[in-house]
A and B are shown apart, each in its own frame.
Chain A
Amino acid sequence: MVMLLLLSAPLAGALFLGFTGNRRWAPEVNVIVSAATFVAAIWLTGFTLTMGPVLFLGQQFFVDSFNVFLVALTAFVGFTTALFSRAYMRVEVQHARIGGGRLRLYHGLYQLFIFTMLLALTTNNLGILWVALEGAMLATVLLVSLYRTPGGIEAAWKYFILCGVGITLALFGTVLLYFAASKLLGSEGTNALLWTRLEQVRGQLDARVLSLAFVFLLVGYGTKVGLVPLHHWLPDAHAEGPAPVSAVLSGLLLNVALYAVVRCKILVAGAMHSGLAGNLMMGFGMLTMTLAAFLLWRQKDIKRLFAYSSVEHMGIATFAFGMGGPVANFAALLHMTVHSLTKSSLFFTAGQAAQWAGTQVMEKIRGLLKLNPSVGWALMLGTLAILGMPPFGVFTSEFLIVITAMRDHPWATPFLLLTFVVAFGAIFFRVQAIVFGETPQPQLPRGSRLVTVFAQLALVLMLGLYIPPHLAQWYRDAAQLIG
């Protein structure tokens, strides 16, 4: 029931807004639908709090400690983004960067995207998971090219082709998985791809097939996560799309893709009693974070900068999942949470700043603090949070990751710290210049539309100082599950 509500709300919203999305009140409807989704997610969360892991609709959907908080997080970020985009897209229309038709497209696809995210998270069927992720790509590819600028088109095309190829490889991996499973679970019916069933029998799955399958799945979903060297679509897509889209791409899509990878990793690691999957993920994570950290030094476009920072953080999380073990997984889950909260808020503020400055080129954005103090502080604090400055939550997760790495893989710790410091130097240098200093523009009215940003940063701050027991319990269970 609640599951139906959770999924149907955005789907219905998508259909409705697909036709009426250009009306004057459409943004409000968008917000309302997202709010409804969020409420449903909360309800679902409460449900699992009381019932524990549950299956819905004949095993087709299920919620366990691993995805429950991701569902809540997705719904929440979806909601805040809708709030932000309400004002933001209005201004875009005023600036005549998009017309009514494309506003309709935007609203419809936005809800569709949220739907696919939630579907991917809650489905019990790895095939449906694949379908949902493909759908998410299809929904966002048009959002990325919403402005129809040459850059937008190019970014969308690359996004489409690279992720399309990737996702196809992932499907091949799924086929192999199915092939391995169907020998145990029988190919009749659809339960051979049911995660819950697979997870029970993962011990007996054929190691050889699964190792092949994992390679395809990793390369496939890894493209979506943005692992180096499969990441090339990511900065382009983030930089060229509207700010809300960049926010949900970074805040939600990457998380869900990583979620898919981890789900597969659980099976593979269970099946083949070697650290293959873990090592692969660690290798990719390490490569990703290091390269991204250095690439940060070359950025001129503010959204591109934060896109690369997302790549770096995904690398960190992947690395942590690769290490495995209760502490590392705990840290990685925490990292996913705080990253999506912080990064989405960063894209809000960055988008706001870029909208005011009329450009995304960082040399041209200056004196934000003078322009509008609340936005300036939001950007500054968000940046410090994402750079792992205490007392924000990112610091906690990175602290845990570093000490675990120190225990299990001492060789990795220098790289980790190098990454942190290099990324810090690169990002902070630019953001400081943006926030501080003088600006020719006149000061804007104090009233800011960034309540959501501060709410998210407050959450991140809280996660740094105090993790609610339920959340901690979920993290622990999930960490246990991931192993």
Chain B
Amino acid sequence: MASLPLELINTCAALLLLLSFAMLSQRRVLTQVDLYAAQGLVLSVSIFITAWSTHQLHLYFSCGLTLLLKVLVLPLILRRLIHRLDANWETETLLNMPSVLLIGLLLVMFAFVLAQPISELATTLTHGTLGIALAVVMLAFLMMITRRKAVSQVVGFLAMENGLLFAAASTTYGMPMAVELGVGLDVLVGMIILGIFLFHIREQFESLDLSHLESLKED
């Protein structure tokens, strides 16, 4: 196959990484959601390219699924939530931003080092991107750790999912159909339940600040 799709996919990968960093550094929650949607878009594009270049039917399907879920449905739910809870502003992160970004950088390097030998083995064209996928997962994880607000933790959670899908798509041209469906379903249900929870938290603690959720502990 031509090197064009490969370059395109690598570009997508770079974009994904960039978007993750953007999310990590972003304070306003709504913007984070937008970034998340953008990430979903890039992801579906990359899957589409892969499908198109390798003529794998089920990849088209999963591309569509991604588009539907991660670009349309989930961001929609999130935005509505944020509006209903007017939670559209983030206080300071637990760590100050520069150090968070620095840690993120280190994580990316670590992820590359980790993925290097494995992507050697990959038979797929797109194997080089595994490292990026791993990096995306880790950055999302870091974001969950550093944020104080429930909503941005949710966003981080979803972003992890993205990295995962990307890894699946890039290393093995996607997971088996049944699994993809299951994962999609779970993410959707999970998202809904999270939404419910945000409301519960809201009505219990009059705020979405996680510092209220620290009463159960060993004293």
Known: A127-B179, A168-B157, A182-B172. A154 touches B167 (CB 8 A): no
Count of A-B residue pairs with CB < 8 Å: 131
Contact with B along A177-210 (1 / 0, CB 8 A): 0110011000101101100000000000010110
Choose among B114, B122, B193, B214 the residue that contacts A160 (Cβ–Cβ < 8 A). Answer: B193
A141 and B179 contacting across the interface, CB-CB below 8 Å: no
Smallest CB gap from B185: residue in A? A131
CB < 8 Å neighbour of B215 from A142, A154, A183, A235: A154
Interface residues of A in 102-147 (CB under 8 A from B): 125, 127-128, 130-131, 134-135, 138, 141-142, 145
User: In the complex, A74 Cα to B92 Cα: how many Å?
Assistant: 46
Q: Which one of B7-15, B31-39, B101-109, B194-202 is at the A interface? A: B194-202
Contact across chains for A193 and B186 when beta carbons are under 8 A apart: no
Contacts of A128 in B (CB 8 A): 178-179, 182
The A291-343 residues at the B interface (CB cut-off 8 A) are 295, 298
CB distance A138 to B178 under 8 Å?
no
Q: Does B74 contact A (CB under 8 A)?
A: no
The CA of A153 and the CA of B193, in the complex, are separated in Å by 12
Q: How many residues of A contact B (CB 8 A)?
A: 50
CA distance A345 to B193 in the complex (A): 30
B164 touching A168 by the CB < 8 A rule?
yes
CA distance A236 to B217 in the complex (A): 8
| Residues of B120-138 whose CB lies within 8 A of A | 121-123, 134, 137
Q: Once the chains are docked, how many angstroms separate the CA of A145 from the CA of B200?
A: 10
Could you tell me the distance in whole angstroms from the C-beta of B132 to the nearest C-beta in chain A? 13
B residues near A165, Cβ cutoff 8 Å: 141, 144, 157, 160
Given contacts A138-B190, A164-B157, contact A153 B200 (CB under 8 A): yes
Contact B118 A212 (CB under 8 A): yes
Query: In the complex, what residues of B have CB within 8 A of residue A176's CB?
Result: 118, 171
Can you name the residue of chain B whose Cβ is closest to the Cβ of A194? B176
A125 touches B144 (CB 8 A): no
- 17 CB-based A-B contacts, threshold 8 Å: A125-B179, A131-B186, A134-B183, A154-B214, A154-B215, A160-B194, A161-B144, A164-B157, A165-B141, A168-B164, A175-B175, A176-B171, A178-B168, A178-B176, A208-B117, A236-B216, A295-B218
Give me 5 other A-B pairs in contact (C-beta within 8 A), A150-B215, A175-B172 excluded: A141-B193, A145-B197, A165-B157, A168-B164, A206-B121
